Structure formats: structure tokens, C-alpha cells
Structure 1
Amino acid sequence: MITVIGYDGTPLPERARAAVDGADLVVGTARLLDEVGVPPTARRHHLVRLDEMFDRIPGHDRVCVLASGDPGFFGIVRALRERGLDLDVVPAASSVAAAFAAIGMAWDDAMVVSAHGRDLRPVAHVCRAFPKVAVLTGPGAGARELGAELPDRTFVVAQRLGHADQSIEILSSHAAVHSEFEDPYVLLCLDESRLSSERGWLAGFQGVPGPWALAETAFAHRDSMITKAEVRAQALARLGPRPGRLVWDIGAGSGSVGIECARFGAAVVAVERDAESGERIRANAAAHAVAVDVVVEDALGALDRLPRPDAVFVGGGGSDVIAACAETPAATVVVALAAIERVPETINLLMKSGRAVDGVLLQSSRLSALPGDTHRFAAANPVFLLWGERP
């Protein structure tokens, strides 16, 4: 049996103290070992690499592993259980709970992501999509790096939580780019313009708020220039929007596809060259309470400056725009076309970029009322939906 003890700077509870005092091996960072106090009868192992810890554990009967905060929350409990070890866990308050408590803010509606030893891109995308995010930082993945990716955010940098020298610093994401912080720490990323005071019932991401492939009436649009619900449903299935992914909506029009992706938790950049349509996209996004970064510019001039996408939807633009999107590292590029003459060229462009190509012709008929309480099915204009996926 291994006792895993969470430490938050307060005195250890009686069960944890007894386990440490009776241990013959205590594992933890040098700082934790010093702060908790290891009896002279026990061997100390400075935790730097997990494989070294696992090599040291055999041969000891009474082992304690010290960890910061709640060791079952993005902590060492998972790694120990994966080795098939029996554990007795004594948790403390998680560093995320302590960070939000330090600024007097509820966190049941917060997203929590770990950037420690992981790719920073999905972490940044979650911070783009959600207004309240706690980030467990790591070297090269903290406030400076995220500040460069995220304009107009408020950062709370919480260091040494629960200790006498605890530090809470509130600054703009822009200012964070020019600041230095000592790892590790908890970063709270807040979009104060979208923070909600509503009481929820489910912690973290609440899921899509209701149905998807919404009716066209759910969006302000111009002269019926909007991706129809049936097409949107198929496009969403191919784009696979979810937290941690970034979707481009190119030739966005009303922004309906991008906004639906944002409702699934994805970060979204909508590119639309018409300024009036750009304002319409912003209004539609606000109406659906999601974040969409709107770029009003010709697509070819904007793409090189956009953050790298995981998926791309092309709802408008010429063959040069489709070719440029096909050459991105996005896993999936989805193209909607009305003209049959454009289908062969688009297939070739997607294949030329090394993508496996598939597609459907979507022909739908909607129930429509006739005089005398009778009905018919009225045919909508057909749409070609093509997609290219990288192997």
C-alpha cells in the first residue's frame, strides 16, 4: 500500500502525518519534502522522473508520495494506478480551487486544462472558446506564451498557493507577455465581457445548448444567403468541432457554420470580406453567447496570419481560396458548392494537397403548407458538399 498525500501549505491531517512519520521511503519534490518534514528514519527520494520513482519503490514496505494539492486532479494518482499499485489517497484542496478562492470567484462553470508537458495549441483554443479557464502551467506553456495568443483577456497568476509567500497577480494578457513567473503556477484566463452569473448544475463545459443544425431563422442573414440546416448538419459531422480544436469558417456569410462549431466548444475564426456581413456575424455570435473571432478581409490576404486550424469550412471563395485552405495542416477541409462545374476542380485541389476526398450531393425537400390544411414537400436547391482529410 502506498499513501499519496496532497499538500496545500496547511498542517497535514492526522492520518497523513502518521503515514509520513511511519514511512521508510518518502517521495516528493525537494520543496515538499522540506516543508512537510521527513523523519530521519525514512529515506528521501527527490521526485524528478517518474521512472526513477518506480525503480525506488520496490523493497520498501511503507511508502509515502507527496504531491501538491489534490493528487487525483491532473496529478500523480493516475500514474501510480497505471502501474497497478494499491493506493491510500489523502487529498488536499486542488490548486485550481485555491486560485479561484484567492480572488473570491466561483469555479463550477470553469474549464480546467493542463499545459504541463503538452502541446499549447489546444490549451489556447479552449481559452479562446470559453470565458473562464484555469490552466495548470508548465515550462514554456504559461502566461507569457498564452498572452501572445490571446488578446483582451484578464490573467490571474497564482503562485505558491496556501503558503506564507502566496502571490496573486492580476494583469492583462498583453502585459503577461512581458512578465516573468516562476514555474509551476496556476493561470486563470478570464474573458470578463462574457462571464456569466447564472447558476449551473453541471461543472465545466455544459455541452451544446439544445439542438444543432439550427433553423435559418436562428441567424440574421442577407437575402437567404446562409448555409441551410441540412447542409450545416453534414458539415458539422465532418468538421468534428469540440473543445481544444480551432475551426476556420471561410467566406462565413452569416457565420452560421462557425457559430454552430463554437456551440460545440471549438474556437472559431470567421473570415468574411464584406464589412456588413462581419458585423452580422458578430451580432449572431453574441445572440448565441459564443466567441467567434471575426476577420473582415479577403481570405487570401488573411489566412497566413491566422492561427493554425484543425478543421476548415469553405462556404465562399474561389478556387484559389480552396487551394490555400487545402494546403493548410488542418485534418479536414469541408467545401460547400452550389455549381456542378466547380466540383471536379475542387476534388482535384483537395487531392493535390494529399487529402483523401469524399463528398455528397445534398438534395432535401421540406414540408410546406398548402391551402386547405394540406401539405407538400418543397424541394430546396441542391448543394455539393466535398471534404478532404489528411491520412
Structure 2
Amino acid sequence: MITVVGTGTGAPPPEEAVAGAELVVGGRRHLDAVRLPEGAERVVLGPLAPALDTIGEYVAKERPVVVLASGDPGFFGIVRVLAERFGPGLLDVRPGVSSVAAAFARLGLPWDDAVVVSAHGRALRTAVQVCRARPKVAVLTGPGSGPAELGAALLHHDRVLVVATALGDPVRERVERVTPAEAAARDWGTAVSVVLCLDGARALGAARTVAGPDAMGPGWALDEGAFAHRDSMITKFEVRALALARLGPRLGDQVWDIGAGSGSVAVECARFGAAVTAVEKTADGVGRIRANAAAHGVDVRVVHGAAPTVLAGLDDPDAVFVGGGGRELPAIVTACARRARRAVVVAMAALDRVPAARAALTHAGLDCDGVLLQSSRLAPLPGDVARLAAANPVFLLWGVRPRARDEGVDQ
């Protein structure tokens, strides 16, 4: 049997948890905090493979093993690795208080509506996109993915970072609220437990029935009436439905909406959980996008400027929707296709723009496909009858990076 003991927010584990153990495995600070049984072997966790091999030798001889870990070891912790190697049936897990639970407790905030993302031993990119998209996020940090790096990536976003350091330590514990700029300018050392990223206006949230981030709400490919727009200049819901299916927006993604107009595609991608940047060259369009995002309760970063010029200053996207562009369309599609990690979707009403857009997608190495969408909607006639009213046809092209199609793009 392998007993896995979570040490909570820094308190030493109870002596009885390690009594009788013949092998005790853990971080140096965990091992130093407990009196080991006489004759027990001690393994300081570093690289996992040698420690797992040693554990395996003891398990094979049915000799008792104790593994010490921080907080709740089943929450982004060592339980997964041990269960994969030895099977869940050999584990006796005794969880402590996770750093996430402790950090929210220090603030007096509930966290049933929080998103938790790990940047420990992983790229920071996904954590950044989640922080941009959601109002309450806990980030588990690591070397190279700490408060300074997170703050630098969030400089242009209205967020408060709460940096919790050495949680549970009666002397060293600190919980500090800082702006992204303040976080980026400091050296935080190695004792950071967790970073909370909060939208101050929405940090409390509403009462929950199901834990996790807010659900998207009823439906998608919303009716045009759900958005403010000018003279019906909006991506129609039939086109939007297929575009969203090809974009595949999800939590942890970065999506661009180029020539966003009313921002209907941007808002819908944000409702799916993606971090969205909408590019719009008209000032009144910028205002409409912001108003539509606010009306639907989502965060959309709006960049006022003309593509492709303004794209140079943006982070690389996972997926891009191009709904405008005029004569600059080939250059815009080329710029987007070169940088998109997964897919580019282009909507066009003009027939003569299709070949150039398709060429731009294929020349960038994307697998290209498309469809001409022609739809007719029910329209009332006198006498309580209806007719079919044809909408303008729209070409929808999409390019998918082969690696994304075959293997999936990692987050």
C-alpha cells in the first residue's frame, strides 16, 4: 500500500501517517518537517522516474510506503502519476487543503465558479488565455511561469493579481494584491503557492449549483437581433454557425476576429470560453463591439486599426475569423494563415475574392476547403401564410493546419 499524505498549507503531517513506513518519499521541506520512523529509507523528490522505481521495489515486496505532497495531492498532484504506475487500488490518499482553496479563503471569496489552470511544468500560454477570458482564475505557477511572466502577459487587461506566497507558513506567508504591471516588475522568488487572477467587478459571482466557470448560456449561432449592428452589416447566424464549427473556440484558445463589424463572431467565441481579440478599423464599429460584449457578459479585447498592419502587435492566435478586408483581403488572409496555430475561416460575399483567399490559405501550408452557403428564411405573407425569402449567398473558406487536423494542437 502507498499512503499519499497531503500536508495542507504547510503544516507538518501527523506523525501517525508515517508511523510504520519503511519508505518515505517527498520534497525536502516535507521530509524535514516530520520525524521519520527508525530505519525508514528517505527519498527526496527530484526527477520522478528514480523515485517511482524505488517505490516499485518496495511495493513489489509489500513493504509500506508513504508519499508526502503539498495540499491535495489529487489536485494537479502526484496521485495521477502514482495511479498510472501502480493503480488506484494501491493508493490510500489523505488530502490536505489545496493552495487554491487556501488562497481564496484568505480573501474571503468562494471559488466554486473559478477556473483552475496549471502552468507548473507547462507553457504559460494557456493560463494567459484563460485569465483573459474568465473573471476568476487560479494559476498554479512554476519556474518561468510565475507572477512576473503572467503579469507581463496581462498588461493590457483589466485584472487584479493576488500572489499567495508560502501559504501556511506562520512567518513567511504573504498574500498581496498587485496590478499586472506591478507583478511584472518584481522578482517573486521560489515560494509562490498560487496566483489568483481576478476581474474585481465580477470576483464574487453569483450563487452556484454546478461548480466551474459560467456556462455559455442558451444556444449559439444567436439571432442577429441579439447584437447591435448597422444596416444589417452582421455575419448571419447560418454563416456564423458553420464558422464557429470550423473555428472550434474553447477555453484556453486565442481567437482573432478580423473586420469584426458588430463583433458577433467575437462574442460567440468568447461565450465558448476563448480569449478573443476583435480588430475593427471604424470607430463606431469599435463601440458596437464593446457594447455587444458587455451585453453578453464576456471579455473581448478590441483593437482599433486596419489589418494586416495592426496584427503585428498581437499574440499568435489558435484560430482566426476574417469577415472583412476588401482589397486587402489576400494580404490579411496570408498574415493570419502564417500565424494561426489551428485554423483560419474566411467569409466572403464577392465571388472574385475567393481564388485569392484560397491561394493565400494553401500557400501558407493549410489544407483548404469551403462551401457556398445559400439559405432561405421563412417570411410572413398576408393571410397568415409564409414564403421563403432568400438571403445573399456567402462563400465560407477554411484552412486547417495539417498538424492540428491529424494530432490536435496542444494547449
Match of 2:249 among 232, 241, 261: 241
Unaligned runs of 5+ in 2: 403-411
Match of 2:177 in 1: 170
Q: Deviations over 1:69-126 (max 9, x none)?
A: 0000000000000013410000111110001001111111100000011111111000
Aligned residues: 388
The letter of the residue matching 1:84 is F
1:331 deviates by 1.1
Which shifted more, 258-267 or 142-151?
A: 142-151
**Structure 2 matches for 1:193-204, cutoff 5 A?**
193-204=201-212
Match of 1:316 among 311, 316, 324: 324
CA contact under 8 A between 1:5 and 1:65: conserved in structure 2? yes
Match of 1:12 in 2: 13
Q: Distance between the aligned counterparts of 2:164 and 2:228, measured in 1?
A: 42
Match of 1:42 in 2: 40
The letter of the residue matching 1:180 is D
Residue 360 (structure 2) pairs with residue 349 (structure 1): yes
The letter of the residue matching 1:30 is R
Which shifted more, 78-87 or 284-293?
A: 78-87
Q: Distance between the aligned counterparts of 1:35 and 1:142, measured in 2?
A: 26
Residue 271 (structure 2) pairs with residue 273 (structure 1): no
CA contact under 8 A between 2:3 and 2:66: conserved in structure 1? yes
The letter of the residue matching 1:173 is P
1:168 deviates by 1.0
**Structure 2 matches for 1:1-391, cutoff 5 A?**
1-8=1-8, 9-10=10-11, 12-13=13-14, 17-60=15-58, 61-85=63-87, 86-151=90-155, 152-165=158-171, 166-183=173-190, 184-317=192-325, 318-391=329-402
| Structure 1 outlier segments of 4+, above 6 Å | none
The letter of the residue matching 2:143 is P
CA RMSD across the alignment: 1.2
The letter of the residue matching 1:2 is I
Identical-residue share of aligned pairs (%): 59
The letter of the residue matching 1:137 is T
Query: 1:342/1:276 Cα in 2 relative to 1: closer, same or farther (>3 Å)?
Result: same
1:240 deviates by 0.4
Q: Distance between the aligned counterparts of 1:59 and 1:227, measured in 2?
A: 62
Q: Distance between the aligned counterparts of 1:206 and 1:358, measured in 2?
A: 34
Q: Distance between the aligned counterparts of 1:103 and 1:196, measured in 2?
A: 11
Unaligned runs of 5+ in 1: none
1:185 deviates by 1.8
Query: 1:58/1:349 Cα in 2 relative to 1: closer, same or farther (>3 Å)?
Result: closer
Q: Distance between the aligned counterparts of 1:344 and 1:178, measured in 2?
A: 48
The letter of the residue matching 1:390 is R
TM norm structure 1? 0.97
1:181 deviates by 1.4
Q: Deviations over 1:313-367 (max 9, x none)?
A: 0000122212211221331000000011111111111111111100111111111
CA contact under 8 A between 1:207 and 1:265: conserved in structure 2? no
CA contact under 8 A between 2:22 and 2:37: conserved in structure 1? no
1:196 deviates by 4.8
